[in-house]
Amino acid sequence: MKNSKKIMMALLAVSVLAACGQKEEEQKAEPVEQQEAVIDVSAEAEQFKSLLAGEMDSFVTDTELLATAINEGKLEDAQKLYPLVTMYYERLQPLAPSFQELDEKINGDIVEGKETDTTGFQRIAYGLFGEKKTAGYEGIAEELVGDVKSLQADFATIDVSETNVLASAVTMFQDMANNRLTSPGIAGNEVYAVKAQTDAAEDLMEVFVPRVSDESAEAASNAITKLNEIVAYYEVGKEDYVNYNLFTTKQEQELITAVTNVEAALQQMNESIK
């Protein structure tokens, strides 16, 4: 919410305090989060979910193609498919808080020394790009297909009523700028991820424009346009991008800055929701 709204709330708290004679400590007992929860964005979350629903069939099909390449021992094919398939999941990230259990199975983080405890995309990346092999990863690939199919089957009924997808997107870009682009993964697919997340941001713009300030929407549009221009520079084929591990320090910083600007603009939009 805007700072002005927070000030108004504070003034209201003071007036109630004076009228009721309550102690200041009692008035402060209500968390800020509860006060801000009155803003309902469940309809926008459902609308955003509906925009992504049409991709679920293709997500399953392409995950099956990845699993087939792994099962057939086609390492180069699997390496080429991997970043493209993960783009579907990157676009779903603003909804991920609504399906945390499946999210952990599909895209749980690799922990050094406990690589075999992980499933999903990150474990497969470890095999394809770290160990550079497909042998031994057939079962993990099939498990991933099963988890993606479960997500597809549940997608229509996933409850997103408690998820502020715009705030989730802010967190998503923050993680990209502060963690993923500063400590890239072994697959080097960060540019693919940025592109997919930018697609999601554009969908969120479409959904939230009626409810946010014109200034914040314009700032977000400009930041997203700039980020798209940078990403397009690194496109080497249809939805194929330069491996992020080949970037120079200057190129990395340019991308990080553009991602950070989108994060800030989306945060401005989130604070202006009315």
Please give the pLDDT value at position 38: 57
Provide the mean pLDDT of the chain. 88
Same domain flag for 208 and 249: yes
CB atoms within 10 A of CB 238: 6
Same domain flag for 16 and 116: no
Please give the pLDDT value at position 173: 98
Same domain flag for 97 and 208: yes
CATH number where 167 lies: 1.20.1420.20
Percent of the chain clearing pLDDT 90 (strictly above): 80
pLDDT digit string (tens) for 100-145? Answer: 999 999 998 877 777 777 889 999 999 999 999 999 999 999 999 9
Q: Strand 240-241 to strand 235-237: parallel, antiparallel, or no bridges (unpaired)?
A: antiparallel
Same domain flag for 28 and 133: no
Same domain flag for 76 and 155: yes
108 DSSP assignment:
P
Phi, psi of 24 (to 5 degrees): -60, -35
List the domain range (segments joined by +) for residue 18: 3-36
Residue 110 CA to residue 118 CA, distance in Å, equals 6
pLDDT digit string (tens) for 159-169? Answer: 999 999 999 99
Q: Specify the pTM.
A: 0.85
pLDDT digit string (tens) for 41-65? Answer: 999 999 999 999 999 999 999 999 9
Same domain flag for 77 and 29: no
Same domain flag for 223 and 97: yes
> Of all helices (H) and strands (E), which one includes residue 235?
strand 235-237
Number of domains in the chain: 2
Same domain flag for 188 and 88: yes
Terminal CA-CA length for the chain: 8
Same domain flag for 190 and 245: yes
